[in-house]
Amino acid sequence: MRVAGLLLLLALAGCGFHLEGSTPLPLSLGVVHVDTSDTQTDFYFGLRKALMAAGTRIDDDGHDAEDAIIHILNDSSQQKTLTVSTLNVPTEYELRYKIRFSVTIKGREVISPEDYELVRDYAYSETAQLAKARENAILSQALAHDLVSVVMRRLASLSGAAAHS
């Protein structure tokens, strides 16, 4: 049984499998300042958490010119009515979460501004307003989490040469 477990671990390690949140980042992203106008969004909190889980130190002051800087240029979510009932009551909504970010290291732009957007639809029931409000918040957090994963994979894709020069 131990041998089978060991073989499974070796197979997973050999194929590049990593636990979620343990995305290896280039050494040039060892200290990062996150530059954003809104530090209270789900995406911002998730990105900080993911960076720290990857071993990155967050520089909240941003005074060191040697730090990598992740510029969050846009971080927004919006809700739109998709369908209404015959009584003109909304029955389905669309939730969109958009981000735009770029990265500079030592004053050199290594990721030019990139846009990402995720969309989810959900049904609305007038009789369950509190539950649906909570569902909206949960969906927004899930979209932000998914966008954090996209950004972390993008950061991990920086080659050592591009990130060090």
Full set of structural domains in the chain with CATH: 21-159 (3.30.160.150)
Is 27:158 a contact under the CB 8 Å cutoff? Answer: no
pTM: 0.80
pLDDT at 10: 53
Exposure string over 90-123, b if 16+ CB within 10 A, otherwise e: beebebebbbebbbbbeeeebbeeeeeebeeeee
Q: Is the dihedral of CA 155, 157, 159, 160 positive or negative?
A: positive
| Per-residue model confidence as pLDDT tens digits over 7-24 | 555 555 555 554 554 668
| Per-residue model confidence as pLDDT tens digits over 102-157 | 999 998 999 999 999 999 998 887 777 777 778 889 999 999 999 999 999 999 99
Sorted by sequence, the CB contacts under 8 Å of residue 120 that are 6+ apart come out as 94, 95, 139, 142, 143
